[in-house]
């Protein structure tokens, strides 16, 4: 039977295509986002890229610091993410801060659009990673934190660190 694959061979092939957790390679993270926002819901989206952009991503020349997501009837867009120009691309290079289309299902886009219309919600990119060789971005539906919430959270973290430090010194002294 030529041309037919055995069932166990098909399963192995599908597993390779889908990618495991170990296949995920984080390229860039937005660490400031969890400090500035209360994260409600997370989504995974593909990104439409040019050849020189994916080369720069694999070289880890990406920044998500000032990036955000815009949602319109045409789809979702990653705005203001900086992907550095890839030097060997020369004249065929890309604009580092161009808008990049995100690949999401229609129902996810409509969910995001409905939430963004509500006061206080925004969509931010959390991390950019490679999954089975494809560039993906994890986006989060977030609500902005108030300044006093940020201060309270920093004070709590400092207190927890002090307690841990005191416990560690107590264990060493015994």
**pLDDT digit string (tens) for 122-160?**
999 999 999 998 999 999 999 887 777 778 888 888 899
Query: pLDDT tens for residues 60-73?
Result: 999 998 899 999 88
User: Which positions ≥6 away from 145 have C-beta within 8 Å?
Assistant: 35, 36, 37, 38, 153
Residue 159: phi and psi, rounded to 5, are -65, -40
CATH class of 22-145: mainly beta
d(CA 174, CA 172): 6
Given pLDDT bands bounded at 50, 70 and 90, which one contains residue 21? low
Q: Which pTM was predicted?
A: 0.72
What confidence score (pLDDT) does residue 20 get? 54
Neighbours of 167 (CB within 10 A): 10
Q: Examine the pLDDT at 91 and tell me if it is beyond 60.
A: yes
Query: pLDDT tens for residues 75-85?
Result: 999 999 999 99
Burial of 135 (0-12, 13-18, 19+ CB in 10 A): buried
Q: Would the CA dihedral through 26, 85, 55, 97 be positive or negative?
A: positive
For the chain, the domains span: 22-145
């Amino acid at each position: 039977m030529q041309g037919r694959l055995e069932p166990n061979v098909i399963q192995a092939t599908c597993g390779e295509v889908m990618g495991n957790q170990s296949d995920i390679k984080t390229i860039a993270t937005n660490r400031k986002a969890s400090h500035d926002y209360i994260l409600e819901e997370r989504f995974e989206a593909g990104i439409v890229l040019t050849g020189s952009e994916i080369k720069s991503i694999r070289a880890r020349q990406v920044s998500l610091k000032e990036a955000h997501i815009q949602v319109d009837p045409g789809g979702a867009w990653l705005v203001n993410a900086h992907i550095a120009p890839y030097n060997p691309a020369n004249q065929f290079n890309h604009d580092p801060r161009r808008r990049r289309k995100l690949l999401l299902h229609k129902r996810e886009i409509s969910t995001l659009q409905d939430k963004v219309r509500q006061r206080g919600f925004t969509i931010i990119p959390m991390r950019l990673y490679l999954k089975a060789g494809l560039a993906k971005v994890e986006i989060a539906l977030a609500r902005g934190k108030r300044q006093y919430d940020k201060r309270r959270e920093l004070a709590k973290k400092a207190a927890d660190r002090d307690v841990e430090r005191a416990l560690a010194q107590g264990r060493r002294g015994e």
